[in-house]
Structure formats: structure tokens, C-alpha cells
Amino acid sequence: MDETGSYEYYEDVNWGLLRLWGKRTGLRVLDVGCGFANTSEAICKLGNEVTGIELDEHAASVAATRVTRVVRADVQAFGDIERQLGDSKFDVIMFADVLEHLAWPIGVLRGYLRWLAPEGSVIVSLPNVGLWSVRFSLLFGTFDYADTGVLDRTHLRFFTRKTARHLLDAAGLEPVRVQYNPGLVRPLVPLAKKMMGSGGDGPHDPAALLNSRPYKLYLRMIYPLELAISRLVPGLLAFQHIFEAKRKNTKP
């Protein structure tokens, strides 16, 4: 694992999370670790009030143009966040590919429940370490980190569908809806991002992949087929598992 190399972040949209969201509107949403807010921008455009939490200055400035409000803070700095959010309550709190970057995700997940409305829900998206490509690599004794994907070198925790449910249970939550993002073609994304990298010859464009013609073609032609096939065995073929959960003993 190379801890000295440069890390080029690329914007993306969590399409599985948006499928789970559907057409819901009029809700107060807290997007924890919102990044550039590509996904929550779509939720905001549906008529929801979205507050993002983001530490990176550049990402936060971009996100501020896409959602209702951005709180600049470390997602684990509860004192700082509480000073800015006060006793606000949210109908939905989202952790879209955030918890795997934290050393103690259960504690962080529990900590945010103070801002969850009594009948509110939590949406958690986690990469699936049980993906076929990871399993195949392990057969040959390989567990190599990459700049993106399930083995992103910034990931500290790894989850299967089963252990993701254990995470929710330990935080006092129970799933009420489940979605996923397919992972048949996804293992090729690191290669695509490497080809689009600046390589030091120019400024890095975080939107390069999202705005590229191959990516748009993938969404239109390949993604629907990949989604249908992955539905057969999501534990093996899903790149991300997405759960919507509520406090235990709270009706959906």
C-alpha cells in the first residue's frame, strides 16, 4: 500500500441511493461527508432541504452551490458540528460511502442519531468486500489497494452484506429498505480513472469521469443490464450495498 502517492478524487453519483430515494420530497436531509454533493444535489432538486457536512474546502465550496447549506467540519467532530447544527432534527441522515473511511464507524453512526427526527431514517451506502473481483484476487493471495473501488486505499473498514447489517444493528438500527449498485463492470473503473488522470501534465478535473462520453454510454447501454444481472446474487455481484434503516421498534 503506497501512502506517499498522490490521490486524485473523481466525482460520481450513487445511482443505487437515488433509486432507493425515489420521488420523495419536502424532507430535511443531512448528508454526512457530502463531498461535491453530486448525489444529494439530485435529492435537493426534488424539493428537499439538504444540509451537507464536508471538511475539504474545495469540495465544500462546490457542494454549497448544489445543496441548501454546507457545514464545514470533520464528520467526527461532534462538538464543532453541534455548535453549527444546534438541536436541528432531520428526516433523513445519509452516509453515502463514508463509514468505511472511519476507524470506529458504529460510534459515529450512533452519534448522529441525536439529529434524527423521531420517525426519521438513516441511509447507509457501503462498498461490498464480497464482490466477485475481490474474492477472485484473494484466491491468488492478492489484496492490493487501489485509488478507487472496494479496495480504495483510504478505506479503513470493509463490509459484506451480512456485516453491514451487523453495523446497523450495533448502532440500534434495523433496515427497512435495501438497494445496491452493480459490480460486474465496476472493477474496470480504476483503470478508466488512471487513463483520465492528469499525470502531472495539467490540473486534475474531478468531474472528468462523470462528464466523459464513455461513462454516459455506460449508464445508457451497460448499467441497466449490469443491474439486472447483479440482482440475481447481490452478495457476490453488488459493488455497494445501500440500506435505509430506522431506530429499532419504530415502524417503517
CA 78 to chain centre: 20
* Higher pLDDT among residues 76 and 12, named by residue: 76
Residue type at 235? G
pLDDT for 12 equals: 81
The predicted-structure confidence for 95-126, as pLDDT tens digits, reads as follows 999 999 999 999 999 999 999 999 999 999 99
71's enclosing H/E stretch is strand 69-72
Bridge partner list, 246? 174
The sheet that has 90-96: what strands, in order across it? 69-72, 49-54, 28-32, 90-96, 116-127, 238-247, 173-182
Cell of 152: 480504495
* Higher pLDDT among residues 13 and 219, named by residue: 13
The predicted-structure confidence for 31-58, as pLDDT tens digits, reads as follows 999 999 999 999 999 999 999 999 999 9
pLDDT for 200 equals: 45
Beta carbons within 8 Å of 117's beta carbon, 6+ residues apart: 28, 89, 90, 91
Least confident of 5-9, 29-33, 88-92, 172-176: 5-9
* Higher pLDDT among residues 193 and 35, named by residue: 35
- Cα dihedral 202, 205, 208, 209 sign: positive
pLDDT for 212 equals: 74
Number of residues assigned to the chain? 252
Question: SS3 of 134, please?
Answer: helix
Residue type at 164? A
List of domains in the chain: 15-244 (3.40.50.150)
pLDDT for 197 equals: 54
Of 2, 81, 82, 83, which is closest to residue 34 (Cα–Cα)? 81
pTM over 0.85? The answer is yes
* Higher pLDDT among residues 188 and 172, named by residue: 172
The predicted-structure confidence for 119-164, as pLDDT tens digits, reads as follows 999 999 999 999 999 999 999 999 998 877 898 889 999 999 999 9
Cell of 118: 423521531
Q: How sure is the predictor about 178, in pLDDT bands with cuts at 50, 70 and 90?
A: very high
Bridge partner list, 30? 51, 93
Is the distance from CB of 34 to CB of 54 less than 8 angstroms? yes
Bridge partner list, 116? 90
As a whole number, mean pLDDT of residues 162-178 equals: 97
CA 121 to chain centre: 16
The predicted-structure confidence for 195-228, as pLDDT tens digits, reads as follows 555 444 554 555 666 667 777 787 788 888 989 9
Least confident of 16-30, 121-135, 173-187, 233-247: 173-187
CA 230 to CA 240: how far, in whole Å? Answer: 11
